[in-house]
Amino acid sequence: MIRKLLLSVAMLSGAGSGPAFAADESVASQAAALAARHREKVIAGLPAGAVAVFRSAPPANVEVDDVYRQDSDLYYVTGFPEPDAVAVFAPGSAAGNRYSLFVAPKNFAEEQWTGRRAGVDGAKAVYGAEAAHPAAEFWEKWADLQRGKTALYFSDGGDAAFRERLLSAWKAEDANSTMPRPVAALGPLVHELRLIKDEAEIARLRRASELSADAHIAAIKAAAPGRFEYEVKAEMVRTCMAGGATRMGYPPIVGSGPNSVILHYQDADRKMQAGEMIVNDTGCEYGMYTADVTRSYPVSGRFSAEQKAIYEIVLEAQKAGIAAARPGTAASEVYAATVRVVVDGLLRLGLLKGERDALIASRDFMRLYPHGSGHWVGMNVHDVGSYDRDPAMKERKDRYFAQRRKLEPGMALTVEPGIYVPEDPAYDKKWWNIGARIEDMILVTTAGPECLSCKAPREIADIEKLRTGRAR
């Protein structure tokens, strides 16, 4: 496919997200330098005598997939962007064998179809491998790599067949061992490291957030009665790609009217009507780090009284959640701060009835605010890292209150309260199909929360001015 032949060009704009080795060596070098720092932390966390294996993500489907995206864990420790790769870390081995990288060798007849490769030489010269070999030689060399090792740590990249063969080969050597040789997933170790971002990672998150904010500004301007949701979506994608994003961080969600109350609406094929709300949840990925940003606004450019009332509650709730996102605060406390504001607001509007504490305790408010207030974000939109949930709180309705993990500087999370009023006789018709969610990227710092994406307007006056050219 011609699209795949242009891979290297697309990857140049993604700050190291794909196979652009020969086209732009500096991009690959930047990714490798970042990965080297991460790799040292992972190796330091392995027990003596261990061997760690990382597998790449499966190849993309040339017919339907977007640009190939490497498995986040393998990329985190190698910076290597290509499929058909295996990284092996053996920290206790002799020099020259502590970091081995198995890669697809250079072969122009194949590269002409799928993009240029680093090859064995590039794996060493650019990506820092002490030893590099063709990928086809992994199983032949695995016996030597694992010999004498006392524990196996692995990340399979989603390749179940590779995992099964790896574990089988490991167990086959147990007969020659005098002690049990445990096997463990690398996830707990790597994901805890990924949860705290360093300065280089923060810079990529910052750029992804800035691009996403620019895209939302373009989308607000593009929305109008009679246009289709996909036209707004197209403005988002265009702005992200024009700004250097490799891909979108996740499938864009652009829902108007009755679709604004559907949390993960995907079709984007409806003609938008005056008097409706749009919920636009879209973020760019830059250099393998993604933003997650949502803005809500009226199709016509002016908030109705009912839309304004709902939106103001959501905005107040988001501000309360952001203010709570400080070092030492539990993730559940951020959520609780948004819940209190939402419940008080819905009581004022008559959309909830009763007493605040009772509504929170019963979770009845979740009929209109059904999701949490945020999640970790980084290399993946719902990024890895433990929330340390209280195991005694098992039901789904309790999960957001169960997050005991304390925030630390360097963590990045979203804050995204929302209210969604469906067509339901329990509510006055004037509220039907009003959905509103406001979501931003928040970096936890010693000085307090930093909003990375607040360049995209949130205040009603700013949205209306951007959409219509004048404030109310």
Instruction: Indicate if 439 belongs to the active site.
Output: yes
Catalytic annotation, pick one of 3, 37, 65, 66: 65
Residue 375 annotated as catalytic = yes
Please report the sign of the dihedral spanned by the C-alpha atoms of residue 42, residue 44, residue 47, residue 50. Answer: positive
Q: What angle do CA 113, 1, 289 make, to 5 degrees?
A: 85
Please state, in angstroms and rounded to a whole number, the distance separating the CA atoms of residues 146 and 168: 13
State yes or no: is 420 an active-site residue.
Answer: yes
Q: Is 65 a catalytic residue?
A: yes
Single-letter amino acid code for the residue at 270: R
Note if 191 is an active site residue.
no
Helix 187-195 vs helix 25-45: angle between axes, to the nearest 10 degrees?
Answer: 120
Contacts (Cβ under 8 Å, ≥6 apart) of 257: 270, 272, 273, 276, 277, 299, 433
Report how far residue 419's alpha carbon sits from residue 438's, in angstroms, rounded to the nearest whole number: 10
Q: 445 - beta bridge partners?
A: 448
Q: Which residue of the set 156, 229, 439, 440 is catalytic?
A: 439
Q: Which of 437, 440, 458, 464 is catalytic?
A: 437
Q: What does the alpha-carbon distance between residue 18 and residue 79 come to, in Å, rounded to a whole number?
A: 9
> Given 163, 371, 399, 405, which residue is catalytic?
371
Longest dimension (CA), the chain: 79
Distance CA 289, CA 245 (A): 10
* Neighbouring residues of 170: CB distance < 8 A, sequence distance ≥ 6: 146, 152, 181, 183
The one catalytic residue in 133, 375, 389, 467 is 375
Catalytic option among 164, 382, 423, 462: 382
Rounded Cα gap, residues 46 and 54, in angstroms:
14
User: Given 84, 201, 235, 292, which residue is catalytic?
Assistant: 292
Residues 222, 231: Cα–Cα separation, whole Å: 8
User: Is 292 considered catalytic here?
Assistant: yes
Question: Is position 238 annotated as part of the catalytic site?
Answer: no
Residue tagged active-site, from 281, 285, 333, 440 = 281
Q: Out of 39, 420, 427, 467, pick the active-site residue.
A: 420
Helices (H), ranges, 46-185: 72-78, 108-114, 119-125, 138-146, 160-172
Decide if 371 is catalytic.
yes
Residue pair 248/216 in contact (Cβ under 8 Å)? The answer is no
**DSSP letters of 190-218?**
HHHHHHS--HHHHHHHHHHHHHHHHHHHH
Q: For residue 437, indicate whether it is catalytic.
A: yes
DSSP state of 402: G
* CB environment 348-359: b (16+ within 10 A), e (fewer): ebebbeeeeeeb
Catalogue the active-site residues.
Answer: 65, 264, 281, 292, 371, 375, 382, 416, 420, 437, 439
